[in-house]
Amino acid sequence: MAFTTVFFLFAVMPASVAGYYLIKLLGNRNEKWSDWLSNLFLVLVSLCFYGWARLEGIALLSIYVLGVWMAGKGICYLEKKAKYKRKVCFMTLSILAVTGILIWYKYYNFIAENLSHFFGISLAMSQWIVPLGISFITFTAISYLVDVFRGDAEAGSLLDVFLYLSFFPKVISGPIVQWKDFQRQTVHRRVDETEFLDGLNRIMIGFAKKVILADSFGAVISKIDPYIGVGMDVPTAWLFAFFYMMQIYYDFSGYSDIAIGLAQLFGFHFKENFQFPYRSKSITEFWRRWHISLGTWFRSYIYIPLGGNRKGMKRTLWNLFCVFLLTGIWHGAAWNYILWGVINGVCVLAERCIREKRFYQKIPAIGKWVVTMAIVFFSWQVFYFSDFIRLGVFVKSLFGLSAANAASAVEYTYQHYLTIKLIFLSVVAVLGATTFCMPWAEKVKTFFARTKTGLFIKETGLILLMIVSVIFMINSSYSPFLYFQY
């Protein structure tokens, strides 16, 4: 089930919020009983949410959660028995098991195809349907096992682990929340009026990002895509690349806003997942601002265990490269994702080597920003095209070098796609991605937060924006969430 559907917005979300607060109200005299019932209610809602697309998904997820919970209990048992080596072995086997499930569902066919192509090894192709959110769920499970192993958090009850792994705001699209951050929020949650309103506001902003901006750009991309390599003028090619750059940001950041806002309605506080990444002046900074929860996960469970930056420059560069290679692999079972990860990794390694050099430090901030955005701009095209032949044709189209750019081959020029509406939305998108964190924007936010007039203006504006979002959502024929496949 997607957030940006009429059924979720007008049925699932209000029913889940109303049911949750009814349970809290009825159990007000017994806090422990209230926590247990409200968590159970959220688990049931989450399982229904997850199983909406495929009913058998409920059974698969339940078995998976049970296995992770038992593995956590096993780690705790070996800890009490002071059998450290066995605990390490058991934890390693548990992580290999959950990782093996991810590889089987998501990467088996990719591996089989490449073994056949490069080595002539023939393997039967899998017909299994990849479970929704398998990558997010796997990383969440690993966080649980490692945090329990390290002693960063206690093992949870079966209900707590069910809630952690299945919680519907984050189960299929993130953000990736670490167990040590989630566990303390499984009890004694309180939501006051201000927090509840902030959660609703975050949801409304997320809806606007997703259905007004991302889906509008996505609809144009879907119209242009069939003409790649067939007939496309140069401005249309650049529009396609620009729209995708904007779409993927507003699509994912919008969904993250909805997830964070939804969680806040139930008393859970998730960390930010995006911090204006298109203002970055280096690829290193970009990855501190883009999909922050994924970067935090890799830092905590891959980079630091590999040694981080504690074992010299060569080892640091190797550790960083491994992280970005795995980042590319995590995004999908295709070579373009791996190449995309390698491109970002090489750029981060190069920046690490030259960041202390005088010539680099003398480069103006605007120059660093332009170079960074150019790298991001072109790397997103690698991310989009799984077919390298189409990618090559498209890159040629950007510079007028493809036969598809011939005037006789072009069926629709950029004027056909660049409507007044798209121009307006593009301006809003660029300003929203680059200027809303500047000092003037912070002053405006302060005004809205501290004065009754400002609060009235803000809430009225957001309600109107939400109404427009609903109109876009109902009228749109394009609404897929890009990160569902990851």
* Positions marked catalytic: 331
> Pick from 258, 175, 172: which is nearest to 209 by CA?
258
The answer to whether the beta carbons of residues 404 and 199 sit under 8 Å apart is no
146's tokens: 């490692």
SS3 (DSSP) at 177: coil
Instruction: Return the number of other C-beta atoms located less than 10 Å from residue 367's C-beta.
Output: 11
Instruction: Please give the Cα distance from 64 to 99 (Å, whole number).
Output: 12
Instruction: Please give the Cα distance from 6 to 3 (Å, whole number).
Output: 9
What is the tally of helices (H) and strands (E) in the chain?
Answer: 24, 0
Instruction: Please give the Cα distance from 42 to 64 (Å, whole number).
Output: 18
SS3 (DSSP) at 347: helix
Instruction: Give the phi and the psi of residue 299 in degrees, each rounded to 5.
Output: -65, -45
The answer to whether the beta carbons of residues 65 and 163 sit under 8 Å apart is no
* Largest interatomic CA distance in the chain: 77
CB-side exposure of 484: number of CA atoms within 13 Å? 12
Question: What single DSSP character describes residue 410?
Answer: -
Question: What single DSSP character describes residue 157?
Answer: P
Instruction: Please give the Cα distance from 401 to 34 (Å, whole number).
Output: 66
Handedness of CA 65, 71, 75, 81 (dihedral sign): positive
**Which conformational region is residue 174 in: left (phi greater than 0), alpha (psi within -120 to 50 degrees), or beta?**
left
Instruction: Give the phi and the psi of residue 481 in degrees, each rounded to 5.
Output: -95, 120
Instruction: Please give the Cα distance from 381 to 228 (Å, whole number).
Output: 13
Instruction: Please give the Cα distance from 293 to 296 (Å, whole number).
Output: 5
150's tokens: 């390290």
The answer to whether the beta carbons of residues 234 and 183 sit under 8 Å apart is no
Question: What single DSSP character describes residue 103?
Answer: I
Instruction: Please give the Cα distance from 232 to 229 (Å, whole number).
Output: 7
